[in-house]
Amino acid sequence: MKGYLIEKYSDMQDAYTVNRIIEEGEKAGVEIDLLGVADCYLWKGRVYHNNIPLEGRDFVINRYKYGFIVDKINELCSKSYNDNKLFKLYVSKYRQVDRLNLKECLLPRYVLANMGMGFEDIVARLGSPFVAKGLDSSQGKEIFLISNKDEYSDLQAGYDLRDELIFQEFIESSKGRDIRIYSICGEAVACMMRTNEYDFRANVARGGKIEEYPIDGKIRAIAKEIYTKTKLDFLGIDLLLGEKDYYFCEINVMAGIEGIETATGANIAKMIIDKVRGDFDGH
């Protein structure tokens, strides 16, 4: 079996997730070539990587979200993880909350608006403080807690007034805490809690601490429901901790695995490879 893994760069020696997937592929006899989109170009209908034309492969694992070259690479492969169209659809935080009408967990109230919307108008709908999110950010970037007019004015200064953001109800009980589930085709294979006493964002990239979190029937049901609605194969699911129930925070279509493998001891990279092999072995 042969496949591609798409990332931004070809030189990803320090990228834990990329290296682990390739490592587990080698152990299983699955050859995976890393393609950095920055080193690719399209010429006369063919994609070239480092000036070498790409051939068809059995599969591709998508870990980069921009551009037509990614589309062309996907066309060379029999199967994509995650499916390229779904991958690009659910990168958007707005598409997530717009399409995922979940029964197994709550959804914070939100407003989609451009940066011209007034502070008082947002507060009237969501209360204060509220959270502002860029539509396709990751690792806690472009996520802000807004408590007053001055903070909102500072936020506006960093954007064009035509830029759209999601403004969302702040779940106070989850400040500095969240849950990350790793889901493979709807099965919750690992789960961790992230905590940060210095920041309302719990992301590991923001200094959050990690520990294993028990996978119970509720966690399994949430992962299953989100897979049923999205059909995303490999997925990070972030939940906020409400006083009585979980709140949906967001899904990550290219979730890293370093933190959750470290926290839980789960070999997620092997599970990813096992899923790919199983699809082609017919089981």
How much is the pLDDT for 198? Answer: 67
Band of residue 253 on the pLDDT scale cut at 50, 70, 90: very high
How much is the pLDDT for 33? Answer: 96
* Site of tokens 């370093």: 258
Cα 282 to Cα 38, 41, 168, 263, 278, distances in angstroms: 35, 34, 43, 32, 6
Q: What global pTM score does this model have?
A: 0.92
| Structure tokens given for 71 | 């589309």
| Structure tokens given for 100 | 């995922």
* Residue 280 CB neighbour total at 10 angstroms: 14
Band of residue 202 on the pLDDT scale cut at 50, 70, 90: low
Band of residue 283 on the pLDDT scale cut at 50, 70, 90: low
The set of residues, in sequence order, having a beta carbon less than 8 Å from that of 102 and lying 6+ positions away, is: 222, 225, 226, 229, 248
Please state the separation of Cα 42 from the chain's center in Å. 27
Band of residue 10 on the pLDDT scale cut at 50, 70, 90: confident
d(CA 56, CA 19): 22
Cα 198 to Cα 73, 179, 195, 241, 246, distances in angstroms: 42, 17, 9, 18, 22
d(CA 77, CA 69): 13
The set of residues, in sequence order, having a beta carbon less than 8 Å from that of 153 and lying 6+ positions away, is: 119
- Which domains does the chain show, CATH number per domain? 2-85 (3.40.50.20), 109-170 (3.30.1490.20), 174-281 (3.30.470.20)
| Structure tokens given for 50 | 């480092």
How much is the pLDDT for 206? Answer: 58
Of 207, 204, 222, the residue nearest 262 (C-alpha): 204
* Site of tokens 């399209």: 42
Band of residue 162 on the pLDDT scale cut at 50, 70, 90: confident
Q: Is the pLDDT of residue 210 over 80?
A: yes
Average pLDDT over residues 198-218: 80
Between strands 77-81 and 209-212, the pairing is unpaired
Q: Which long-range contacts link 112-118 to residues 24+ away (Cβ below 8 Å)?
A: 112/164, 112/165, 112/166, 112/167, 113/164, 113/165, 113/167, 114/161, 114/162, 114/163, 114/164, 114/165, 115/155, 115/156, 115/159, 115/160, 115/161, 115/162, 115/163, 115/165, 116/161, 116/162, 117/167
187, 223 contact by CB (below 8 A)? yes
d(CA 174, CA 200): 8
253, 259 contact by CB (below 8 A)? no
Average pLDDT over residues 229-258: 96
Each residue's pLDDT tens digit, 17-58: 999 999 999 999 999 999 999 999 999 999 999 999 999 999
d(CA 133, CA 115): 11
What is the chain's mean pLDDT, rounded?
Answer: 93
Average pLDDT over residues 129-153: 88
